[in-house]
Amino acid sequence: MPASFLISVRFRVALVAAVLAALAPASHAQATVQHPTAPNLRARETDVSVSLRDTVARDPRLRLWRDALVGARRADSVGSLDGEVQEAFGTIVDLAVSGSIVAVLDQSQMRVVLLNRDLGVLGDVGRQGSGPSEFRAPINVTIVADTLRVYDAALGLKTFVLSVSPRFGARMISAVQPVVAVQTLCFRNGGMYAIAPSSLQPGRETARDIEPLVSILRPDGSVGGTFGESYASPSPLVRRMMSEGVIGCDARGRALIGLVKLPFVTAYSEDGRSMRRLRVRDFELSRSLERPNARGQMSIGLDPETRSISTLSRIVHLEGDVFAVQVSRFELSPNRRSFPEVEVQTYLLSLSSFEAVSVGNHLPRIGHVDSTGFRGSMQHLP
């Protein structure tokens, strides 16, 4: 089994139940609508489900990965507030591993730090700006052999060729701006899958209640097709808010996709056809209320009575047919002003057997970190 890396995090999320924007005149809708709606939940129901109590797997690959993750131990850490500039991390938003190189994407410092397997710093790529080797809003990183790819929400996909010996160097060889607004993405052979519902595209809102969720992006940034379904609503803003998604894919193009606020993940084949769907039974649904504001316009925000919620936080392809699905659970803080993360639940899913098993709630986010202040620790799986 190839080595895998984990990130230990302290994650804080502030969810503000404020008015987001005007949706429609009050004459179109006066009654309060609670989201997610029953039709959206029923449309995704399935007979395959998993909970934290499901700890026994029949699939041998699931058993192997579960045993490794349950027995995961901290091997080393890197990063400090008082260390050298290259070893001081801010907000780490993504991490990738290839061979002997680990790439850590630090959004606060607008750079990718390259480490060796001993966690020694090889060098870094990027700084703030709009130039060839600069970033403004980097959100994804991947590395294969000597090729580093960074997706920047403002500047597009930048590809670099790395050299390590006799000295570290990075040369940008291409920059591609996708033709759609991308929420998040994963890389596959020959292109990318991007969560980019139509309601995200300026001036391209449709009158349909359901839109394609995922765009298949070619290497030049053009769209080669779409698949998946967004959250269903006649309101473009509700679709945009409720269609925030997570995605994981393998090199073959198989993908596992879920909407952050719903307890389902759907598996898709290489040609974008839906295979099967899994429900996480321990998922605590959030409640968002769509209702008229003081000006008679429709607005949407988190129900003020909410005390705890779950979100799909991460989908990671581990190897072969095995994916990891992670769910974050948040509880209202004592000062009632934020929802700190209290646990991350980890589940494994095999696409071949479509069996799922729980790893528990003791792991951090796999291969990923959203916010670490100034410290981030990496864990190595035996």
Indicate which CATH number applies to the domain containing 352: 2.120.10
300 neighbors 288 (Cβ within 8 angstroms): yes
pTM across the whole model: 0.80
Is the pLDDT confidence value at 22 over 60?
A: no
At 4, the pLDDT band (50, 70, 90 cuts) reads: very low
Lookup: tokens for 185: 């993405």
Average pLDDT over every residue of 127-135? 90
| Domains held by the chain: number | 1
Average pLDDT over every residue of 317-338? 87
Higher confidence at residue 15 or residue 271?
271
The DSSP annotation for 168-233 comes to: -EEEEEEEE--SS--SEEEEETTEEEEE--GGGSTT---S-SS-EEEEEE-TTS-EEEEEEE----
> β-strand 169-176 against 156-163: which pairing, if any?
antiparallel
pLDDT tens column, 138-194: 988 888 888 899 999 889 899 999 888 788 889 999 898 888 888 888 888 778 899
Return the C-alpha torsion angle 58, 64, 70, 75, nearest 10: -170
| Mean confidence (pLDDT) of the chain | 79
Higher confidence at residue 355 or residue 163?
355
Report which secondary-structure segment, H or E, holds 274.
strand 274-280
**DSSP structure class, residue 366:** B
353 neighbors 58 (Cβ within 8 angstroms): yes
Q: Which range of residues forms the domain containing residue 223? A: 5-380
